[in-house]
Amino acid sequence: MFDVFGIIRRLLKIDQTRIDNVIFCLHYKATMVILVAFSLLVTNKQYFGDPIDCMVGAINSHTIDMFCWIQSTYTIPSLTGAVVGEEVAHPGVSNHDVVRLPVINGDDGAREQYTIKHHTYYQWVTLVLFIQAGMFYVPRYMWKSWEGGRVKGLVNELNLPILSSDLKRARMTIAVDYFRRNLHHHNLYAYQFFVCELLNFVNVVGQIFLTDSIGHDPTDEIFPKVAKCTFHKFGPSGTIMRHDALCVLPLNILNQKIYTFLWFWFVVVAIISAFGLLYRLATLTSSFRHLLLRGRSRLASAEKVESISRRCQIGDWFILYLLAKNMDPFVYKDFVNDLSEKLGDKEHLS
pLDDT per residue, tens digit, the chain (350 aa), is: 445 556 666 666 777 889 999 999 999 999 999 998 888 888 776 556 677 888 776 666 777 888 887 777 877 777 776 777 777 777 777 765 554 444 444 444 444 456 777 776 667 788 889 899 999 999 999 999 999 999 999 998 888 777 788 888 888 889 899 988 998 999 999 999 999 999 999 999 999 988 887 665 556 667 787 888 888 778 777 788 777 888 888 778 788 888 889 999 999 999 999 999 999 999 999 999 999 999 888 888 888 888 888 889 999 999 999 999 998 888 888 889 888 888 775 544 34
Burial of 157 (0-12, 13-18, 19+ CB in 10 A): middle
Model pLDDT, residue 96: 55
DSSP 270-297: HHHHHHHHHHHHHTTSHHHHHHHHHHH-
345, burial (CB in 10 Å: exposed 0-12, middle 13-18, buried 19+): exposed
- Local structure of 57: helix, strand or coil: coil
Q: Give the pLDDT confidence score for residue 309 in this predicted structure.
A: 87
Would you give the end-to-end CA distance of the chain in angstroms? 65
DSSP string, 183-246: TT--HHHHHHHHHHHHHHHHHHHHHHHHHHHHHSSTTTTTS-SEEEEEEEEE-TTS-EEEEEEE
Pairing of the two strands 110-113 and 240-248: unpaired
Look at residue 54 in the predicted model and tell me its pLDDT.
Answer: 83
90, 215, 321 from 77: Cα distances, Å? 12, 14, 56
In the chain, at which residue ranges do the beta strands (DSSP E only) sit? Answer: 53-55, 73-75, 102-105, 110-113, 117-119, 226-234, 240-248
Q: Which of 261, 268, 199, 270 is nearest to 35 (CA)?
A: 261
Is 248 in a helix, a strand, or coil? strand
Global confidence as pTM:
0.79
The Cα–Cα gap between 59 and 9 comes to 44
Q: Are 258 and 42 in contact (CB under 8 A)?
A: yes
Burial 268-307, CB ≥16 within 10 A → b, else e: ebbeebeebeeebeebeeeeebbebbeebbeebeeebbeb
What integer pLDDT is reported at residue 264 of this predicted model?
93
Euclidean distance between CA atoms 9 and 109, whole angstroms: 62
91 contact partners, CB below 8 Å, separation of at least 6? 75, 79, 80, 81, 82, 84, 220, 224, 226
| 200: number of Cβ within 10 Å | 27
Per the CB < 8 A criterion, the answer to whether 297 and 170 are in contact is no
pLDDT for the residue numbered 104: 44
Q: What is the pLDDT of residue 288?
A: 93
Cβ proximity of 96 and 244 under 8 Å: yes
> How far is residue 168's CA from residue 162's CA, in Å, rounded to a whole number?
9
* Distance, CA of 43 to CA of 242 (rounded, Å): 31
Is residue 138 within 8 A of residue 197, CB to CB? The reply is no
CB 54 within 8 A of CB 230: no
Q: Which pairs count as long-range contacts for 285-291, CB under 8 Å and 24+ apart, including other chains?
A: 289/314, 289/317
